[in-house]
Each structure stands twice: as C-alpha cells, then as structure tokens.
Structure 1
Amino acid sequence: MNSPTSGTSGTSDTPHTPHTSPARWRVLAVFSLGYLVSYVFRGVNLGFAPHLVDELGLSAADLGLLTSFYFLGFALAQLPAGLLLDRFGPRRTEAALLLLTVAGSAVFAAAPGMVGLAAGRLLIGVGVSVCLGAAIQALSMWFPLSRMPLLNGVVMAIGGLGAVAVGTPLAWLLTWTDWRTVSAGMALVSLVMAMLLWFGAPDLPRVSRESLAQQLRGTREILGSERFWRVAPLTLLNQGVFLAVQSLWVSAFMRDVQGLAPADSARHVSVIGFAMMAGCVGAGWAARHLERLGISLRAFAGFGMMGFIGVQVLLMAGAPLPLPLLWAAYGVFGSSGILTYALLARRFPDALIGRATTALTLTVFLATFAFQVGIGVVLDFWPASGGRYPARAHLAVWAGLVVLQVLASAWYLMGRRAAPTAR
C-alpha cells in the first residue's frame, strides 16, 4: 500500500509509510490481545458448566443450547461486522463492539436463569465477532502483504492461549470464587480491552467512504465471487471439522476408539493445543519463505489442508505411530486453514478486506456449529453403553467428514488457475 487507503501489492517498505512505522508493532500487540479475549469467551463455559448445573439446575441439553448462542451471535454478526470494518476501520469497530461484550458479560453474571444466560452469551458472541477480522484488516493496513501469513499465524497462536486459560487456570480460579464473579471480571477485562483499542491502537484514515448501498454491493460481489468460493469450501471444512472435534468430540474418540484413559486423553488434548499454536506460527513463516522459492501461498495452504485429511485417515486406521506424534500432526495440519485468510487479503481490494474476512469466518463458524451438533446426532444412531459409543460409530462419522473434505479438495484443485489475484 502506498497510502493508507489505496491498495497495492504491499511488498516493499518505503519511508513514511505504515509499513516502516514503529507503531505497527503496537497494532500487532493490541489486536492480538483482543483476539485472545475473544478466545477466552469462546471456551469459558467449559469451566462454568458444572457450576451452572449445580446452581441453576441446567440439563445437558440446556448447556448445549446455551453454548450455541455464542456461536449463533458470532456467526450472525459477521456480515454486518464486515460492513462496519470497511466503513469505520478496525480500531473503532472492534472497540465499539466490545462494549456489547461488556454488557453481555454483565447480563450473564446477573442472570437468574436460562433466558438471561442465553441473552448474555448472544451479546458476547456479537461483541467479539469482529476480533479476528479486525486484527487481519489492521495488519493488512500496517504490514506488507508478504508478511500476512506469518502475522495471521501469530495472532491465531496468541488467541490459542485463551484455550489454555479456560483450562487449569480457570479451574483454579473457580476454587476460590464463583462463576458470576469471574463473568463480572470478564466484563471489566472487555471494557479495558475496548479502551486500549480506542486510545492505544494507532489509526489510519477511514478505510471506506462508500455509501451503504455501495457496501452492500461489495458484499454481494464477495459472496458471488468464484475467487471466494474456490477457497471457502475446503477452508470451512478444515477449520469447521478441526474446531468441532477439538472443542467437543476428540476426547470421546480417544476414549472409544483408542482406548485411552481420561488422564491420557487430557495429555493428548494438550498436545493438540500446543501443536495448533506452533502450526499457526510455523505455517505462516514457512509460507513466506516458500513463496520466495516459487511455491504459491495457495498451493501451500492446499497442501496443509489436504495433509489434515491424511492425518485423519491415519488416526482412523490406527497407524502404528506414536499417538502424541499423530495428535500433534492433527493440531498442526488442522490449523492450516488460517492461511486462506491471507490469500483472500490478496484476492480482494483493500476496501473489501473486512467483508471478505468476515464472510469466510461466517462460513467457518456455521460449519463448526453444524459439525458439533451433527456429530452428536450421527453418534446417537448407535446405542451407547456406559456413556461410550462403539468405535465403528466414531469411524463412520470421521469417514463421512473425510469424504466431504476430499470433495472440497478436488474443487480447490480445479480452481488453481481460476480467480487471479486482485493485487
């Protein structure tokens, strides 16, 4: 970018541009922290669940429905959030929406029953819905696009620390306080984050001066673009399957298919989490260096997402390899779909980046929600015994998901010469 509002390849650093400003590192730090906060909210109900059951008498179905309101709010907010990002920029948009998170956390903390809890979670989902899209847009404005794969990976890895925070640290916190106090504390954290963004993040002139009608035409352009739909199906399957399994069903697979004890499953789940963080950063670093060797970002992203299919097949087949190695590979390749965010940033002009990013996030979160629910529905076709499902039930589910990913891979490969980059 030669100027804050014009789109170029962004591959060279020249004096007096955002690419050379020391403030760009503040941009990276502040927006990464915002994504970390959003990730904590994503998983905090895992720690709250037993306390909600004991205090409010919620059933398992209630807990599932309650958790889904976060994803529902997050998904429904994506397209409007994209319009706001491209009109007002990442700093103002994220700071303003985080105020909804503050309100949602307060509502959740004070809720006497299911309705209030659900309303709080819905507001929280809307409030944090822009955290990833804002970070990607801000980095694309302040850094050369050649660095975007690595920087996106850094943001995702820092956000992944939120998954660690809702594990042992949250469990420890709940030993000396209650979930309502923690929720109120998260409201305060969200308010501080909003203030940090508003007053601490450097800004550039407004990204877009389009009218609302023009913005809506831009959204339709993205959703009707082959450039978008050539990469979206494989990405949403890669990320949707990985997130759905990692956040809910992986322990059941380890227990029922691999025969692991709870303690062993917990250790392997931690392996996946740390491998995911390493994969986010490592894939971004590798992508940038491979491009210098003539291997495109699109090709490398496709290799990673198709590698994820291979790892799933190895796990299903019970390959004679160390389980920590297989589950680490699951985490590394399962995070490879983030590379397509950087790919979309190159395929659409600056004025459409926010909407393109949030459109992709919308598909990913809808897929995650659908797979979390759908896997449970399919497993219920087999009778459970002692809380366990037959191994063949899990294998049937995974086989169906692999078939979908293979079909999406074929579609991805067919478009390797289609959809030229926009900049």
Structure 2
Amino acid sequence: MARQPRRWQKIEAHGPGHPLVWLIWGVPALFFLYEFILRISPSLMLPELEQELKINSSEMGASLGAYYYAYAPIQLAVGMLLDRFGSRKLLSLAAFICILGLLVGTQADSASTLAASRFLLGFGSAFAYIGAVYVALIWFPARRAALLTGLTAGVGFAGAVGGEFLLQQIFGSPPDWAHGMWILAIVGIGLAIAMWLAVPERPAWYLKQVGRETPHDLQSVLQGLKQTISNMRIWLVSIGCGMLYLPLAFAGNWGPRDLHTVLGFSEVEAPRLYALFYIGIGIGCPLVGWLSDRSGQRRKWLIMGSIGGIAGAAAMTFLPEDARDLIWWLLPVWGLLVSAYVLGYPLAADLGRRDAAGTAIAFVNFVGMLMAGMMVWLFGIVIDSMAHSNGHAEPEAIDFRWGMGLMTAFMSLALITILLTREPDRKLDP
C-alpha cells in the first residue's frame, strides 16, 4: 500500500467525513470544471473554425466527436485504474494529457489535427468526473453519495455557465483559437500541480472496508470489471442515463448554433443563452442528489427526469421564432430536468460490487460518452443531409429542427429504458 503523505495522516486517522475532505474532493472537482470548459470551447466559434479549416458540418461533427471517441472507451480503463491505484497519480497525469491536447490544438490547420487535439483532450478529461466522484465515495460517508455526485456535476456545469463568458474573453473577438489554447494549457499546469499536492492516497480503512488490503490486486480489479459488464441492471442504467445525458452533449457542441439558426439569436447572444441551460443543470444535479439520498430512491427521480427531457426536447423542436422569448425559461427548466442523469452513477455503484465502485461509475460514463460522440456526429450528418435534400447551401432552421426531432426520439428511448431499471437489493450504508 502506498505511504500516505504526512500532511494527510491525521485526516486518514479520523475516518470518513473530516472537514478537510471538502478540499480533497474540491481540487478534483475543479479539474472537472476545467475539463468541461475544454469540452465546450469549440461551440463558441463553429462557423469560424469551419471557415478556417475549410470543412463542412459533417466533418466538424466528426472532429468534435473525436473527444467522445477517446473519452468513452478509456472509461473502463479509468475505472479499473482508480480501483487499483487511486486518484492522486492518475488525475495529475490526466491533466498533463489535457495540456498536450491543447498544445496540439494550437497547431490545428485541418479536420485531422483538430480531431487529434480533441482526442487527446477527451483522453485526459476521461479521468476528471469519475476521479472526483471516486474521491468523494472514499472520503465522505456513504449516505452522501448521490449528493456529492450531484455536487461534482454541479461544479462542472458552473464552469459551463461561467465558461461561456470566460471563453469569449480568452479567445477574443474575432476568436483566436491558438491564443486561447495556450492560455488554457497554462491553467492546466497549475491544476496538475494542485492535484498532486492536495489529493492523498487511499486510506487503509477504505481498503479494509472493501476487502482489498492492497490496492494493486489486478485479478480482483479484472473480476470487478467482469461482474460489472455482465450485470444487466447496470447496462440498463448506463443506456438510460446515457440517453438522458445527450442534451448536454448537444448543448456543448451544436446548441448555440442551433439557437442562432433556428431562432435568430446572434452568435454572441446564443452561447450566453445556453448558460441558462447549464444553470439549470448546475442547480438540478446537487438538488436531485439530495432528494435521492433523502428518499433512498434513484429510479423515481430518473423517470421524472426522462419525462421532462422528452418535453424539453419536443419544445425545442417546435418552438416558433415569434415565441423565442420563451427560451429564457425553457433552457434552464430543461437543464434542471435532465440533470437527473447524474443518479446513474451512484445507482450503478449500488448495483455492483463494493470494491468495484470506480469501475461501475466509469462504465456508466463509458456508455454515456460513447452515445454522446455518436449523437454529435449523427446530428451533423442529419442537418447536412436535410440541407442537401432541401436544396440549402448551408443548414437552415428546418434542417436543425429535424436534428432536434432526433433528440426527442432519444429522450423517449431514455424513458423506456429507465422504466426497465430496478433499485438495488441492499440498503445504503450510513
């Protein structure tokens, strides 16, 4: 077992819930905030990037999707690595991978180099949310699992809210992609150092609690993965919550352009409006986590969230331009409702082995991000195909509405899948 840094030995001796565990969790949560800003950064300048790189919407969608194609498959490895080694070294290394992706992004001059940058960013970012949640599951009492899962997501979406404004300042007007990438890389270096200093090794009492006296038991980790991927209830949770997550992937890639094209908002105003969507999610994630912990139920809130997701997607599909002022309340309410997706992580952890919690929550993220990458790519194909069939040189409002109709269908499938899920057999520990 790795030796605990001296500064954290008293906290380890205290057990779960020491006041300073908020700091231990807070630094990885800030890394998730940073990662989310990296994720949404292209949405502010899609038309400019397409012109600069001389690519169409389908190629842009494929390049942006590279983030998710790296993020999703690595999730299974992230879960196993966390279960085996803990968060400290992995999160610091992940931050440096993000920095490398940003440096590649400064040289982007084609769809392929943009995709390479996004792939590296997705690879490094894959550790952020799962790593922060894993830290919370270890250092906080089990009764706070859903609350901390929601708070972690809320921190990330706070970055999305402020990030829309922050990124506009970083990239400037007109946006300078390379300059912005350099600034974000410098911030990443600071975060990597902070995580190395602030995140301790896993405590001895945690390893004993989960029945793993050593953190380097590879056979046990692989067995945990096998049991996770063979658990049909975890599959249902992952697919249902993955589809419920799709509006977030849409918002971070196509959302502002959709508002600009369909409802006529300016290219400056549209990203700021989508900050309202992230405000709804930022409020909803900790709120639904608290409600879930208080009631001891996950499934009920997931069902309610998926119904709200259907209503929100349908409203976004059919909202007429002369009623565009409704977007001011539609976006935050839609975000508030789909934030229930966050309950999939503690629900999967409850359904799986206790010593494979990292693998279970990573599997949920794996499925969700794989679906997100496919949706980002598919949305670009749909709007390009509809534009071509309608004789439009560039995708217009009706073409984007067809894409949003696809989102409504995904939300309906999310409800059906979540209805098939079940609560875990065992009760939560205090």
Aligned position for 2:377: 373
Q: Is the 8 A contact 1:347 1:421 kept in 2?
A: no
2:132 counterpart of 1:135? yes
2:193 counterpart of 1:195? yes
Q: Could you say if the C-alpha distance between residues 106 and 265 of structure 1 is closer, same or farther in structure 2, counting changes exceeding 3 Å?
A: closer
Instruction: Select which of 26, 33, 36 maps to 2:33.
Output: 36
Pick which of 117-126 and 173-182 moved more. 173-182
Q: Is the 8 A contact 1:384 1:390 kept in 2?
A: no
2:415 counterpart of 1:411? no
Q: Describe how 1:3-402 pairs up with structure 2 within 5 A.
A: 16-47=13-44, 49=46, 52-53=49-50, 56-111=53-108, 113-175=110-172, 178-205=176-203, 209=215, 211-240=217-246, 242-251=247-256, 259=263, 261-262=265-266, 268-291=273-296, 296-313=297-314, 322-379=326-383, 380-381=385-386, 383=390, 385=392, 387-390=395-398, 393-394=402-403, 396-402=405-411
Amino acid at match of 1:290: S
Q: Could you say if the C-alpha distance between residues 322 and 42 of structure 1 is closer, same or farther in structure 2, counting changes exceeding 3 Å?
A: closer
Amino acid at match of 2:198: G
Q: Could you say if the C-alpha distance between residues 420 and 370 of structure 1 is closer, same or farther in structure 2, counting changes exceeding 3 Å?
A: farther
1:18-64, CA deviations, whole angstroms, 9 ceiling, x for partnerless residues? Answer: 32322201112111111011111111223454564565545544433
* Secondary structure of the structure 1 residue equivalent to 2:192: helix
> How far apart are 1:133 and its partner, in Å?
0.5
TM-score (norm 2): 0.81
* Secondary structure of the structure 2 residue equivalent to 1:390: helix
Q: Could you say if the C-alpha distance between residues 384 and 140 of structure 1 is closer, same or farther in structure 2, counting changes exceeding 3 Å?
A: farther
Once residues 134 and 395 of structure 1 are traced to their aligned partners in structure 2, the CA distance between those partners, rounded to angstroms, is: 32
Once residues 181 and 18 of structure 1 are traced to their aligned partners in structure 2, the CA distance between those partners, rounded to angstroms, is: 45
Amino acid at match of 1:245: F
> How far apart are 1:178 and its partner, in Å?
3.8
Pick which of 44-53 and 25-34 moved more. 44-53
1:270-319, CA deviations, whole angstroms, 9 ceiling, x for partnerless residues? Answer: 3212111111122223223334xxxx233233332333234444555769
Let me know the Cα RMSD of the aligned residues: 3.3
Q: Is the 8 A contact 1:106 1:184 kept in 2?
A: yes
Gaps of 5+ in 1: 5-13
* Secondary structure of the structure 2 residue equivalent to 1:19: coil
TM-score (norm 1): 0.83
Q: Could you say if the C-alpha distance between residues 197 and 272 of structure 1 is closer, same or farther in structure 2, counting changes exceeding 3 Å?
A: same
Once residues 259 and 99 of structure 2 are traced to their aligned partners in structure 1, the CA distance between those partners, rounded to angstroms, is: 37
Once residues 98 and 44 of structure 1 are traced to their aligned partners in structure 2, the CA distance between those partners, rounded to angstroms, is: 17
> How far apart are 1:368 and its partner, in Å?
1.0
> How far apart are 1:211 and its partner, in Å?
3.6
Once residues 152 and 235 of structure 1 are traced to their aligned partners in structure 2, the CA distance between those partners, rounded to angstroms, is: 14
> How far apart are 1:216 and its partner, in Å?
2.0
Q: Could you say if the C-alpha distance between residues 328 and 217 of structure 1 is closer, same or farther in structure 2, counting changes exceeding 3 Å?
A: same
Q: How many percent identity over aligned positions?
A: 22
Once residues 201 and 185 of structure 2 are traced to their aligned partners in structure 1, the CA distance between those partners, rounded to angstroms, is: 25
> How far apart are 1:228 and its partner, in Å?
0.7
Pick which of 282-291 and 153-162 moved more. 282-291
> How far apart are 1:397 and its partner, in Å?
2.4
Pick which of 373-382 and 141-150 moved more. 373-382
Matched residues, number: 402
Q: Is the 8 A contact 2:65 2:374 kept in 1?
A: no
Q: Is the 8 A contact 2:17 2:141 kept in 1?
A: no
Once residues 63 and 311 of structure 1 are traced to their aligned partners in structure 2, the CA distance between those partners, rounded to angstroms, is: 26
* Secondary structure of the structure 2 residue equivalent to 1:40: helix
Pick which of 360-369 and 104-113 moved more. 104-113
Amino acid at match of 2:188: S
